[in-house]
Amino acid sequence: MRIKTLAMVLTMVVCANVGDLMLKRGMTQNGAVPLSLSGLQHAFLMTVTNGTIWIGIFFLSGFMLSYMTVLSWADYSYVMPAGAFGYALLTFLAVVFLHESVSARRWIGVVLICVGVLLVGQTKPRTTAEVAREVAA
């Protein structure tokens, strides 16, 4: 149960981060959107024909599906803080792939998140009674 939950939370975090990165990359390829009717029309066409945006949408749909799935058995108070691991992951990715420099304050934040997620991760994923079994069958 715990392994299944943690695997699903990890899928959720990876899908959300990859999806956001792809959206950001796609929107940057399209350029800044002018706030006029013709500008918005043009931006809409550029967006729906941009492959990178669709990859982003695919990953964000994967995030929503894994989020819904994990909440069907695990506590909200378990999934919510565990999902914050994404902030720590993004910091590592920024350092490794983008060679960004990270302040001491941000590293302390990453350590606090990791310790917090470890603490939550070792609690029981589900504390409420199972009532939906019959509904599901």
Partner 1 sequence: MMRDVFVLAVLVLGSTGGEIAITHGMKATGEPATLRPMAVLQFLRRALGNGWFWAGVPLMAISFYSLLLLLSWEPISFVIPASALSYVVGTFGAKYILGEEISVARWAGVILVCAGVALVAAG
In degrees, rounded to 5, the angle at the alpha carbon of residue 62 between the alpha carbons of residues 64 and 55 is 125
Residue 132 has phi, psi (to 5 degrees) of: -90, 0
Q: Which residues bind partner 1 (CB under 8 A)?
A: 65, 68-69, 71-73, 75-78, 80-81, 84, 87-88, 91, 103, 105-106, 108-123, 127-128, 131-133, 135-136
Q: Which is nearer to partner 1, 51 or 57 (CB)?
A: 57
Residue in the structure block whose two tokens are 């956001």:
20
Q: Which is nearer to partner 1, 44 or 107 (CB)?
A: 107
Contact 116, 71 (CB under 8 A): no
Q: Which is nearer to partner 1, 46 or 121 (CB)?
A: 121
The minimum distance between CB 33 and partner 1, in angstroms, equals 14
Q: Which helix (H) or strand (E) holds 48?
A: helix 37-48
